[in-house]
């Protein structure tokens, strides 16, 4: 199955309808662009949102690249499902269903609120060879597609991640897929100091060296540099686009998944909405490469889909403006802009 083109006729109709609304043409700026794009993605459907948070562990953690120990991945998975994490709260606020996915934390995890899509017990340490096998990379993308297939009636899927050390995986993927030096895409993550950032960049350089040269195949790059949650998220994006749902990107790690998905099928980018700009330096490079402009810039550096969930009210507002505003004609307002 392939990703359909956006519905150009629906987009033109939405723009024409917005131009009849009681406001100067274009005066709602980027909210109007959003409304038009959502019309092209899924038409005038009632908004129904899901936030999909995917967690996995990373061999990079052995290299001391995070301020937090690896067991936090598993602890946070439990916190997501129990409703106490930031994304749990923000998904509720956005009236979005929260789907929590274990793509491979180190120790197997059973929880009624967590969906299992385990590819393995965390990735291998990519500084010594591939983070995963090609088969695992393919399996992670397939698991994500399957997950998206289950999101019946969902018009927008917000993506989130959890995985101690996963900004290192995201940095390595950005470096390899964009062809930029490690130093350009390494930042403090959730709390490194300058020395920690430098160490992270060295780890990324070693991972790139251990796996070079990279074939022009996103699956091989994903296998080399990890991680499982990134592969699953790329799959969710591809699957969501296939079923005409908007894909609301969170920060840097989801950005890496978006780059992988875009290399698998460039048409997926039409369905992507960049929720926010992370302070991680690589995030802007990735969004620029995808041609996406973030909606929010709130210095969020948590991940989990927190920024994606925060942008959902803007989608709802854009759809409401298109559906519910009066036109110049119905409201009896003089239209000077005609």
Q: Taking a C-beta distance cutoff of 8 angstroms, is the pair 239, 146 a contact?
A: yes
Interface residue with a second copy among 20, 134, 206, 316 (CB under 8 A) is 316
Q: Taking a C-beta distance cutoff of 8 angstroms, is the pair 256, 167 a contact?
A: no
Q: DSSP for 226-249?
A: --HHHHHHHHHHHHHHHTT-EEEE
- Coil vs helix vs strand at 124: coil
Which positions from 51 through 80 interact with a second copy, judged by CB under 8 A? 67-69, 71-72, 75-76, 78-79
Q: Cα separation of 59 and 131, whole Å? A: 7
* Binding range to a second copy, per CB under 8 A, among 129-137, 194-202, 210-218, 302-310: 302-310
* Binding range to a second copy, per CB under 8 A, among 97-105, 142-150, 153-161, 323-331: 323-331
Least distance from a second copy to the Cβ atom of residue 22, Å: 5
31 lines the binding site for a second copy (CB under 8 A): yes
Interface residue with a second copy among 121, 181, 191, 266 (CB under 8 A) is 191
Q: Cα separation of 158 and 87, whole Å? A: 11
Let me know if 179 is exposed, middle or buried by CB neighbors in 10 A (0-12, 13-18, 19+): exposed
Look up residue 58 and give its two tokens. 């990373």
301 lines the binding site for a second copy (CB under 8 A): yes
Interface residue with a second copy among 4, 10, 19, 25 (CB under 8 A) is 25
Residues forming contacts to a second copy in the complex (CB under 8 A) are 21-25, 27-31, 67-69, 71-72, 75-76, 78-79, 82-86, 88-90, 92-94, 190-191, 279, 295-302, 306, 310, 313-314, 316-317, 320-321, 324-326, 330-334, 336-337
């Amino acid at each position: 199955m392939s990703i359909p083109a956006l519905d150009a006729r629906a987009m033109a109709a939405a723009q024409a309808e917005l131009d009849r609304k009681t406001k100067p043409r274009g005066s709602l700026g980027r909210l109007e662009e959003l409304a038009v794009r959502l019309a092209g993605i899924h038409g005038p459907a009632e908004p129904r949102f899901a936030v999909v948070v995917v967690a996995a562990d990373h061999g990079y953690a052995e290299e001391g690249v995070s301020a937090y120990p690896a067991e936090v991945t598993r602890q946070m998975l439990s916190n997501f499902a129990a409703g106490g994490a930031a994304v749990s709260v923000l998904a509720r606020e956005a009236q979005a269903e929260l789907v929590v996915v274990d793509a491979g934390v180190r120790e197997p995890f059973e929880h009624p609120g967590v969906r299992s899509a385990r590819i393995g017990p965390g990735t291998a340490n990519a500084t010594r060879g591939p983070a995963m096998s090609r088969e695992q990379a393919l399996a992670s993308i397939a698991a994500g597609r399957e997950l998206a297939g289950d999101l019946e009636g969902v018009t927008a899927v917000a993506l989130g991640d959890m995985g101690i050390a996963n900004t290192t995986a995201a940095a390595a993927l950005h470096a390899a897929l964009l062809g930029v030096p490690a130093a350009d895409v390494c930042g403090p993550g959730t709390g490194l100091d300058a020395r920690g950032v430098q160490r992270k960049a060295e780890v990324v350089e070693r991972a790139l060296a251990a796996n070079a040269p990279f074939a022009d195949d996103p699956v091989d790059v994903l296998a080399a540099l990890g991680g499982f949650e990134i592969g699953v998220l790329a799959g969710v994006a591809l699957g969501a686009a296939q079923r005409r749902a908007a894909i609301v990107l969170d920060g840097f790690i989801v950005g890496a998944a978006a780059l992988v998905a875009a290399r698998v099928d460039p048409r997926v980018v039409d369905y992507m909405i960049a929720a926010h700009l992370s302070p991680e330096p690589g995030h802007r490079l990735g969004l620029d490469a995808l041609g996406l402009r973030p909606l929010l810039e709130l210095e969020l550096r948590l991940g989990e889909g927190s920024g994606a969930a925060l942008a959902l009210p803007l989608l709802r507002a854009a759809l409401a403006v298109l559906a519910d505003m009066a036109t110049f004609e119905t409201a009896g307002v003089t239209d000077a802009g005609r």
